[in-house]
Amino acid sequence: MLYFIKSMCYNEIEVRNLTVQIEKLDHYGRGITRINDKICFVENALPKEIVEIKIIKETKKYFLATTTKIIKKSEDRTDIPCPYTNQCGGCNLAHLSFEKENEFKTEKVKEIMNKFAKIDSKIIKEIVYDKPYHYRNKITLHTNGNKIGLYQKESNTITPITKCLLLNDKLNEELGNIKPKTKKDIILKIGNKTDEILSPTNKNNYIISYIGNKKYKISEKSFFQVNSVITEKLYEEIKRIIQDKKSKNVLDLYCGTGTIGIYIHECVDKVLGIESCKEAVEDANDNKELNNATNCTYKLGKVEDLTTELTKEYDTAIIDPPRSGLHKNVIKKLLEITPKNLIYISCDPVTLARDLNLLKEKYEIEYIRPYNMFSRTYHVECCTVLSLKKGKKEEEVKNGIYRN
């Protein structure tokens, strides 16, 4: 029986468990149902399931609830192998089969692109994925001097952990050696192929990791993708695009440690990378030397503050911004210099859709491909390929705006 009691106030709902049927998942992997014509988001619930829930929060627009009992289980539900899932909240989709997780992420991208940018789902390509567990090459641990572990959901309370199933096996071994002697966050990283570990227990202040046949120096503060296998698949696609487009001069915006530009440097004439993290730029210049990428140049600064560096000599821009997406000054500058091709790497489909809406003024979206970079979580990476609309460059040449 499904309970929908019209006269019920929040306190009355709170003291009893309700039985509801789940309609679908929201973009954070929570089940959706309705109570008294108000939407309710339910943790650990899947579409078509009938579950007993407990309301934990009410606002004017929605309820939040947790699942207390599963009455009718979905065929897509899978056992959760991690003892910390209901505490740390990192693996939002651990109860969903991996096959359905990939379907969920593909549909999520389609829905967001249609809703926020009116983009046809036909241009969303098949998702790229690998394994669901043991893929992370990095973890940030929180400590308070007594405990070491991960924060609980929406809290600064630390759940001590001895193992994380998302982590590389050798990092899990290192995790057991870490003691909570400090109140500072502790970052562990491992290099694939080299198995070098960046950790407080050893004295090296950087490690070497590989993507394909390119090697990269990684320090504690510099950004490096957490899933090395999926990253190589992504970089191979970027390289193929660069070759197909016959790109010559490439902007590598938000370049981090220079990984993408160096990966494709042999296919182009030159690469200019811009990055705001000092340590990352230092690493990028070291990586340039490690890979003999003499045609790569790296500059320190925020992309939105270095727009004078973005000139019309660049025919392609590779853009890999933080979750917040592109600054309006960067979009304005890209629309001004109009590179023939844009390759936009995004870890947030919502900000991607927002930016694509603005870039559509002068660019056609060729396709968007989801990448399951963060298995067992609701996060999804996207690679979007855009090309200058036909006639735009010719029009600018005619008007004397663009010069080769």
Active site residues: 347
Encoded amino acid at 5, one letter: I
Find the angle CA(296)-CA(300)-CA(304) to the nearest 5 degrees.
105
The residues near 385 (Cβ < 8 Å, ≥ 6 apart) are 241, 341, 342, 343, 365, 366, 367, 368
The residue type of 110 is: K
DSSP codes, 56-117: EEE-SSEEEEEEEEEEE--TTB-----TTHHHH---TTTTB-HHHHHHHHHHHHHHHHHHHH
Transcribe 31-58 into DSSP letters: EEEEETTEEEEEET--TT-EEEEEEEEE
Q: Is 275 helix (H, G, I), strand (E, B) or coil?
A: strand
Residue entry with tokens 């005619």: 398
Q: Which residue in 335, 341, 397, 389 sits closest to 363, CA to CA?
A: 389
Identify the sign of the CA torsion 169, 239, 102, 382.
Answer: positive
Q: How many CB atoms lie within 10 A of CB 213?
A: 7
In the structure encoding, which two tokens stand for residue 209, read together?
């990791």
Pairing of strands 363-371, 316-319: unpaired
As given in the structure block, the two tokens for residue 140 are 């940030």
Cα–Cα distance measured from residue 66 to residue 41, given in angstroms and rounded to the nearest whole number: 8
Residue 216 phi, psi dihedral angles, 5° rounding: -135, 140
C-beta neighbour count of 387 within 10 angstroms: 15
| Distance of alpha carbon 254 from alpha carbon 46, whole angstroms | 37
